[in-house]
Amino acid sequence: MEGRYMRHSQPGPVDTTSSPRAALKTLPFTDVSLLGGFWANRQKVNRDSSLKHGYEMLKEVGTHQNFLLAAGKKSGTWSGHRSRDSDLYKWLEAVAYELATRPDGELQEMADEAIELIVSTQAEDGYINTYYQHLAPDKRWSDIEFGHELYMAGHLIQAAIAHRRATGKDDLLQVARRFADYIGSVFGPDKHKVVPGHPEIEMALIELSRETNDECYLDLAEFFIDQRGYNTLGNRFYGSWYYPDHVPVREASKIEGHAVRALYLVAGVTDAYMETGEESLLHALETQWSDMTRRKMYITGGVGSRHHGESFGDEYELPNDRSYCETCAAIASIMWNWRMLLVTGEGCYADIIERTLYNGFLSGVSIDGKKFFYLNPLLSSGDFERSKWFGCACCPPNVMRLMSSMQHYIATGDENGMQLHQYIPSRIESIRDHKHIALSVDTNYPWEGLVRITIEDSHGGPWSLSTRIPEWCDKPSLRVNGKTKEPGTTKGYAVVNRKWAKGDTLEVEMPMEPRFTVSHPKVYANRGNVAIERGPLVYCLEQADHDASVNILDVEIDTSASLETEWHDDILGGVMVIKARGDSVDYGPWEDEIYRTLANGQSKRRPIHLTAVPFHAWANRGKGVMRVWISGAEIP
Amino acid sequence: MEGRYMRHSQPGPVDTTSSPRAALKTLPFTDVSLLGGFWANRQKVNRDSSLKHGYEMLKEVGTHQNFLLAAGKKSGTWSGHRSRDSDLYKWLEAVAYELATRPDGELQEMADEAIELIVSTQAEDGYINTYYQHLAPDKRWSDIEFGHELYMAGHLIQAAIAHRRATGKDDLLQVARRFADYIGSVFGPDKHKVVPGHPEIEMALIELSRETNDECYLDLAEFFIDQRGYNTLGNRFYGSWYYPDHVPVREASKIEGHAVRALYLVAGVTDAYMETGEESLLHALETQWSDMTRRKMYITGGVGSRHHGESFGDEYELPNDRSYCETCAAIASIMWNWRMLLVTGEGCYADIIERTLYNGFLSGVSIDGKKFFYLNPLLSSGDFERSKWFGCACCPPNVMRLMSSMQHYIATGDENGMQLHQYIPSRIESIRDHKHIALSVDTNYPWEGLVRITIEDSHGGPWSLSTRIPEWCDKPSLRVNGKTKEPGTTKGYAVVNRKWAKGDTLEVEMPMEPRFTVSHPKVYANRGNVAIERGPLVYCLEQADHDASVNILDVEIDTSASLETEWHDDILGGVMVIKARGDSVDYGPWEDEIYRTLANGQSKRRPIHLTAVPFHAWANRGKGVMRVWISGAEIP
């Protein structure tokens, strides 16, 4: 069905324009342009440094070589984790988004080389996996739990879709489709039945269905989803909870297991709901979302409390020193929340995206774009720092693909108009039913809370401009063409419906007073502690801002003193710093004991000034002690 | 060398009478008799209930059946964990100690049946392991990491030594020795080289060497010890740190890895030192001991902070809700500290034994002796309780063998006299160099701090009576025949050297004021928290002692108010209860959020009385909320 396959496709990771149960419709990625500011700077670093660094690393550690080996173009030793092929796929997806935005000869050449490598590696029957092709050609699908074959197929498919949407070229998509068709010939209701050991292919197949308009891929994704939850995985290492495979998808009420697996799965299930509208899926998704965001999410948006199995913990189990918070899990949470937002139009999902983007995700990459965190703890005793790459390097290229597709997450359209989810300086266009809308967003967010939206084109009829009022903002104000308007919110959005005309403005003002935050009393790790937040940013104390006479792990903050802000152009690429007051506490010598009878006079206190910086920027001045939660007071 | 083999042996788990580097010499187990009181009651429950319950459980879950299968006396399915044989061995060791103390027809019959089972299972060449014998006869030693063959050999040897020392019978010891000889024919410097996946056989072989006076067993133990630390284990599941096999034994400075493995290992290494006197071993042991007791030990004496790998955590990583604290690890710590005490004569080791016995070990068994904890967390949200047995049932019979050998840990002798390590009502005799000493200890310890020691027999010459002054006691007083004496301490002991005569008394008075305890400021889990202790006992708050209007997780204790003690005959078999004052805090509704901006008036406080009970007794009134560390104040 070449005709259906060649339909108009929309650049970007997700295209919900034809999804029956998507309340919000994604906009063409290329119709959103970043116009400087916080994220444009980060995206530039990603393009100029991270992507090129990434390609070098892929070559250096042997990811390329694995493809050359599998393609029979070289002899040597296959190396790495069995998921390694996917590092190249995610990197390629990121490059595709960049190429959709602007030409870049160097990136284009790298991408062409990578695609050529992939094309030449694919087996006759469509299969690609350098490990099995090179080392164990007769063992395909023999290790569904840890072989990562279906997981990597998913990443190949996503990269191929991104590349086709970006360039219009079909070469990589044909490779991906041949692999998907081959997978469909092996697995299915009347064929081999398995549960993918690492979810990912579900999202990818459904997007492939959207891209090709071929429902067979949706059917295959649904088959994999329906198989899950009957304890067929988990007999070797962890239990079935890890995959997760212990509860059928429709009955799941808790978010459990390996965080990235669990979140890629629910993201795929959300995609399935958008296509099928099966209410039991949505109900299970909403219940799991509540479990995650109300009981298992760090203040940074980071998720996955346990090193053991890189997994979610129990309710309120959120240790700070041992928080795992894999960067990929933050990205997976953003992917899931984005899909939930598209389904429901509820601002609470965009709130979680914002919290995660500015904190638990962004901490994953250094300011220079060349070093990465795999884990993102909320407390460091000083021996933790970013690495330029990893043996299992899932996180760095995952950061790259999200960074290079930032445009995708800013706004959506629907029958009634346009919704602005993230405040990022940009120009946004939309054509729906031949009606043209264009607007520009001007703001110094996240450093300042004023957002000015100017209508640049409008089709003349009335339409609604919806702007999210973040959950952290309790006193927003709204001005339409300079005149104050009551900002009543619907689903977390201030909605202004009028006949918008070119030159009209909507201003949203969100006061950004720094604030102390406390956590649920059952989060034992945070008892008697407060965090500092300002706007969407979580702050931390970093040793680098304090002199050697102060150990920031031994300070108490004075929550009755006010917090002051100061712009510092000279550190961390320019940040708003928050000044606080507190005590430095000297607990005396403790080398020889761990427990001691309580007595007065064991500690000495002296008043000091404390300096807090955005959590996402920590560890950019060497490794050093850091804490988000600061001893202060019990909830008053 | 039958003659040497048949030398006089001393009942009890460890016999250091001939060990060149043991500063203290163990006493014959049977020369120490418990005379009522705290531990005698527990030992009676162990004998009358636990041991019989244990034998029933061994039959019920299939441990017996596995032996019958391996012996070819029955057909059926082998079941359980591959370490299951050792449950029977540890149970048998416990029974042997009881039979050494007093005849018991029923236990005797059970023991005879068990021994008959073991004898008939042993292969021609000496090998015993029901799993491999029944299921995989050609796979012996193929899985050194998790096969547990050498580990179980160790437990068989310990049980056999205990049985011979208790009864004088050789049947089980011959079985064990044949197995040990077979192991020696397989492994060794010029033979197969392996590192046992779970240490245990090292201790056992050295004790076998002491029992038989045959150095080949010591040599074999040393061979296993010397092999360790070169990363030969750990390629499949965990890393080599787990076993531990990442640092050579003489270079180890940190206590790391799976807690029981790490501690059985150092216990075995301590035995090796006692025989060889190699100083590099002792240095490594002392360094690891400091690391454990100053940085990685819970206030209960429990060790092993992590669920992941049942392992030690980082320095000061001591979470309360997720504390692992396996009962076996507490027992292993006691075994190691006992050996360190024998080597050095330093009271600090007996202090750790005391702390662990009364708290982290004793919590492992219910008051009725029929339910057991595998984990011993310091905080429970209410869904944790003891079980009658486990799939991997290492802990229950380990509790039984320690409980039934309690006499062993009370006192020792040396050239100069007798050392009293644990205050337990008892009669203790010692004959060294044909010089007879006998004394009785009368005390209501741990409820009261007065200990009265009466000399019942003395050889006439001067000798030293050394009594430990516990680390928790800072104001001890001493009276010799009623006259106060300055209690200067040597190595943690008050030493009184005189010509003791029959009827002489030494009274030690250790004031038992309840006290608040704080922990090292780097233990983040305990910041702003205090614990309550009295004498050797750690206390906890248990929901059962508070009415429903108080949630003990939401209370703050007033550390400026005094703590009051009250004897309660009617609960928990009779305990000293501690009353405190504090506030019950109502944090209001939090269902829908996990983070909230700090504001005054979010909580309501009302003064209440708090009741603390000994930690070891918790969860004997149904499961319920419990906490050891109580929100109170930062270190003042």
Residue A4 pLDDT class (50, 70, 90 cuts): very low
Q: In this predicted model, what pLDDT tens digit does every residue of A522-537 receive, in sequence order?
A: 999 999 899 999 999 9
Residue A604 near chain B (CB below 8 Å): no
Residue A141 in contact with residue A194, Cβ under 8 Å?
A: yes
What are the distances in angstroms from CA A185 to CA A204, A217, B251? 17, 11, 57
> For chain A, how big is the Rg over CA atoms in Å?
25
Contact call for B294 and A379, based on CB within 8 A: no
B317 with A322: CB under 8 angstroms? yes
| pLDDT at residue number B7 | 45
Most confident region among A65-74, A483-492, B486-495 by mean pLDDT = A65-74
Cβ-Cβ contacts under 8 Å, A384 against chain B: none
- ipTM exceeding the 0.85 mark: yes
Q: Which residues of A touch B324 (CB under 8 A)?
A: none
With an 8 Å Cβ cutoff, are B518 and A602 in contact?
yes
- With a CB cutoff of 8 Å and minimum separation 6, the contacts of A456 are A427, A438, A439, A440, A502
Q: Are B331 and B359 in contact (CB under 8 A)?
A: no
Q: Encode pLDDT of B538-566 as tens digits.
A: 999 999 999 999 999 999 999 999 999 99
- Chain B: give the shortest CA distance to residue A527, in Å: 8
pLDDT of residue A432: 78
Q: How sure is the predictor about A9, in pLDDT bands with cuts at 50, 70 and 90?
A: low
**pLDDT computed for residue A2 by the predictor:** 36
Q: What value does the mean pLDDT take over residues B72-98? A: 96
Facing B595 at nearest CB: one of A517, A596, A601: A517
Are B634 and A321 inside 8 Å of each other by CB?
no
Closest CA to B56 of B327, B368, B397, B328: B397
The C-alpha of B267 sits at a distance from chain A's nearest C-alpha, in angstroms, of: 22
Looking at the partner chain, which of A317, A631, A635 has a beta carbon nearest the beta carbon of B634?
Answer: A631
Nearest-CA distance A215 → chain B (Å): 39
Q: Choose among A187, A192, A182, A224: nearest CA to A206.
A: A224
Closest CA to A582 of A556, A563, A560, A604: A556
pLDDT (0 to 100) of residue A373: 98
Residue A591 at interface with chain B, using a CB cutoff of 8 Å: yes
Q: Report CB contact under 8 Å: B522, A593.
A: no
State the number of CA atoms in the 13 A half-sphere of A149 facing the CB.
26
* φ and ψ at residue B214, rounded to 5 degrees: -110, 115
Give contacts of A529 with chain B, Cβ < 8 Å: 527
Q: Which residues of A touch B530 (CB under 8 A)?
A: 598
Mutate to test the interface with B, among A598, A600, A628, A629 (most CBs of B within 10 A): A598
Q: Are B49 and B369 in contact (CB under 8 A)?
A: yes
CB-CB contact of B291 with B253 (8 Å): yes
Q: Which helix (H) or strand (E) holds A437?
A: strand A435-443
Find the radius of gyration of the CA atoms of chain B: 25
Q: Which of B297, B520, B530 sits opposite A590 (nearest CB)?
A: B520
Q: Is B48 exposed, middle or buried (0-12, 13-18, 19+ CB in 10 A)?
A: middle
Return the SS3 of A230: coil
Please give the pLDDT value at position B6.
44
Dihedral sign for Cα B489, B495, B497, B500, please: positive
- The SS3 call for residue B502 is coil
B520 contacts on A by Cβ (under 8 Å): 590, 593-596
- Binding-face residues of A in 312-351 toward B, CB within 8 A: 313-314, 316-317, 319-322
SS3 breakdown of chain B: % helix, strand, coil, rounded to 5? 40, 20, 40
| DSSP code per residue over A510-573 | -----EEEEE-TT-GGGTTEEEEEETTEEEEEEGGGS-TT--GGGEEE-TTSPPEEEEETTSTT
Contact A603 B634 (CB under 8 A): yes
Using DSSP, state whether B468 is helix, strand or coil.
Answer: strand
Show residues of chain A in contact with B295, CB under 8 Å. 594
> DSSP letter string over A441-498?
EEE-TTT--EEEEEEEE--SS-EEEEEE--TT-SS-EEEETTEEE---EETTEEEEEE
Mean pLDDT value across residues B524-534: 94
| Chain A residues whose beta carbon lies within 8 Å of the beta carbon of residue B631 | 527-528, 634
Pairing between β-strand A411-414 and β-strand A417-420 as defined by DSSP bridges: antiparallel
Kindly report the pTM of this predicted structure.
Answer: 0.92
What is the b/e burial string over B114-140, where b = at least 16 CB atoms within 10 angstroms of the residue's CB? bbebbeebbbeebbbbbbbbbeeeeeb
Residue of A nearest to B290 (CA): A592
Instruction: Test A322 with B317 for CB contact under 8 angstroms.
Output: yes
A230 touches chain B (CB under 8 A): no
Does the CB of A20 have a partner CB in chain B at under 8 Å? no
Per-residue model confidence (pLDDT) at position B99 = 94
CA distances (Å), origin A483, targets A378, A463, A506 = 43, 19, 9
Q: What is the pLDDT of residue A84?
A: 96
User: For A530, which of B237, B297, B598 is closest by C-beta distance?
Assistant: B598
| CA atoms of A170 and A7, how far apart (whole Å) | 13
Q: What percent of chain B has pLDDT over 70?
A: 99
Peptide bond into A446 cis (omega under 30): yes
- Catalytically active residues of B are 310, 394
Q: What backbone torsions phi and psi does residue B470 show, to the nearest 5 degrees?
A: -60, 150
Q: Which of A114, A224, A223, A196 is nearest to A160 (CA)?
A: A114
Is pLDDT above 80 for A3? no
Q: Which two tokens stand for residue A30?
A: 């290329």
Residue partners of A190: CB distance under 8 A and separation at least 6: none
- What DSSP designation does B455 have? E
- Chain B contact present for A517, CB below 8 A: yes
Say if residue A460's pLDDT is above 90: no
Q: How many CA atoms lie within 13 A of A562 on its CB side?
A: 3
Is A8's pLDDT higher than 60?
A: no
For chain B, the average pLDDT equals: 95
Residue B8 has pLDDT above 80, yes or no: no
The pLDDT of residue B435 is above 90: no
Alpha carbons A175 and A178: distance in angstroms, whole number: 5
Average pLDDT over residues B183-210: 97
Distance CA A53, CA A594 (A): 45
Nearest one of A532, A507, A509, A506 to A519, comparing CA atoms: A532
CB-based contact, A520 to chain B, within 8 Å: yes
Q: Does residue A635 surpass a pLDDT of 50?
A: yes
Distance from CA of A33 to the nearest CA of B (A): 34
Query: Distance (Å, rounded) from C-alpha A636 to C-alpha B605?
Result: 9
Task: Look at residue B1 in the predicted model and tell me its pLDDT.
Answer: 32
Neighbours of A473 (CB within 10 A): 18
What is the distance, to the nearest Å, from the Cα of residue A11 to the centroid of all Cα atoms in its chain?
Answer: 19
How far CA B324 is from CA of A257, A533, B614, in Å, comes to 19, 34, 19
Option in B317, B321, B553 nearest A321 (CB): B317
A528–B contact, CB cutoff 8 A: yes
Grade residue A5 by pLDDT with cuts at 50, 70 and 90: very low
Tell me how close the Cα of A619 comes to any Cα of chain B, in angstroms.
21
Nearest to B51 by CA among B103, B92, B19: B92
Token pair listed for A151: 């997981």
Yes or no, beta carbons of A516 and B592 under 8 Å apart:
no
Compare B322 and B365 and report the one with higher pLDDT: B365
User: d(Cα A6, Cα A74) in Å, to the nearest integer?
Assistant: 36
Residue of A521, A531, A593 lying closest to B587 (CB–CB): A521
Cα–Cα dist A92/A111, whole Å: 6
Instruction: Summarize pLDDT for A88-122 with one digit per residue, the tens.
Output: 999 999 999 999 999 999 999 999 999 999 999 99
Q: Is A545 within 8 Å of chain B by CB?
A: no
Listed in sequence order, the residues at least 6 apart from B622 whose beta carbon sits closer than 8 Å to its beta carbon are B385, B544
Asked if A320 and B524 come within 8 Å (Cβ–Cβ), the reply is: yes
Residues found in chain A: 636
Separation CA B102–CA B51 (nearest Å): 14
Which residue has tokens 């049977």? Answer: B30
A465's torsion region: left (phi>0), alpha (psi -120 to 50) or beta? beta
- pLDDT level of residue A488 (50, 70, 90 thresholds): confident
Helix (H, G, I), strand (E, B) or coil at B419: strand
Does B597 contact A635 at a Cβ distance shorter than 8 Å? Answer: no
Tokens representing residue A376 in the block: 């993102």
Q: Which of B528, B531, B598 sits opposite A518 (nearest CB)?
A: B598
Q: Is A140 helix (H, G, I), strand (E, B) or coil?
A: coil
Looking at residue B63, its pLDDT comes to 97
Quote the minimal CA–CA distance from A585 to chain B in Å.
9
- The pLDDT value recorded for residue B90 is 98
Which pLDDT tens digit goes with each residue over A54-66? 999 999 999 999 9
- Interface check for A306 against chain B (CB to CB < 8 A): the answer is yes
Buried (b) or exposed (e) across A580-616, using 16+ Cβ within 10 A?
A: bbbbbbebeeeeeebbeebeeebbeeeebebbbbbbb
CA distance B449 to B492: 17
Residue A237 binned pLDDT confidence (cut-offs 50, 70, 90) = confident
Query: Least CB-CB distance to A597: which of B293, B517, B634?
Result: B517
Burial of A198 (0-12, 13-18, 19+ CB in 10 A): buried
Cα separation, A377 vs A375, whole angstroms: 6
The set of residues, in sequence order, having a beta carbon less than 8 Å from that of B48 and lying 6+ positions away, is: B369
Q: Does A461 touch chain B (CB under 8 A)?
A: no
Could B597 and A517 be called an inter-chain contact, meaning their C-beta atoms sit closer than 8 Å? Answer: yes
Compute the distance between CA of residue A159 and CA of residue A88 in angstroms, rounded to an integer. Answer: 9
Q: Which residues of A are catalytic?
A: 310, 394
Mean pLDDT of A163-182: 95
